[in-house]
Amino acid sequence: PLPAKPQVTITFPGELVSQKSNMELANEYLSRFGYLSETKKSGRQESTTKALRAMQKKLGLEVTGELDQATLEAMRAPRCGVPDVGS
């Protein structure tokens, strides 16, 4: 018989667990890759929506302007560190 295994979930020391909310993650991504310029990082919904649309268009996602599941997954996917927009 298989031995009983631990069923608990633990917190591993040194694990980089992101404490950021989805919106914080999105803003960081949009800023890092050039969709949200420094001057527009005011947190205004309008700027974020516009940046999201630009990002979705650039990456070939459905352009919704929303932080939907596909967009979040794209933001978490492995990628090149060179910005998509700007220098």
Partner 1 sequence: FLTFEGNLKWDHTDLTYRVTNYSPDLDASVINDAFKRAFKVWSAVTPLTFTQVYSGEADIMIMFGSQEHGDGYPFDGKDGLLAHAFPPGQGIQGDAHFDDDEFWTLGAGLVVNTSFGNANGAACHFPFVFEGKSYSHCTAEGRSDGLPWCSTTPSFDQDKLYGFCPSELLYTYGGNSDGAKCVFPFVFDGTSYNTCTTEGRSDGYRWCATTANFDQDKKYGFCPNRDTAVIGGNSQGEPCAFPFTFLGQTYSSCTSEGREDGRLWCATTSNYDVDRKWGLCPDRGYSIFLVAAHEFGHSLGLDHTSVREALMYPMYSYIEDFQLHQDDIEGIQFLYGRGSGPKPTPPGPVPPTQTPDVPDQTTLATTTEDSGFQPTEPSPVDPGSDACRVQAFDAITEINGMMHFFKSGKYWRTSQSLKGKIQGPFPIAETWPALPATLDAAFQDLLTKKIFFFAGQRFWVYTGKSVLGPRGLEKLGLAPAPARLTGALQRGRGKVLLFSGEHFWRLDVKVQRVDRGYPRQTEETFGGVPIDVHNVFLYRGKYHFCQDRFCWRMTPRYQVDRVGYLKYDVLHCP
Which residues, including other chains, have CB under 8 Å from residue 18's CB and lie 6 or more apart? 25
Give yes or no for residue 2 binding partner 1 (CB under 8 A): no
Distance CA 19, CA 25 (A): 9
**Is-contact 48 42, C-beta < 8 A?**
no
- The pattern of x and - marking residues 35 through 64 that bind partner 1 according to CB under 8 A reads ----------------------xxxx----
Give yes or no for residue 1 binding partner 1 (CB under 8 A): no
Amino acid at 63: V
Among residues 1, 12, 21, 69, the one that binds partner 1 under rule CB under 8 A? 12
Q: Residue 4 corresponds to which tokens in the numbers above? A: 């009983």
Residues that bind partner 1 (CB under 8 A): 3, 5-6, 8-10, 12-16, 33, 57-60, 74, 76-82, 84, 87
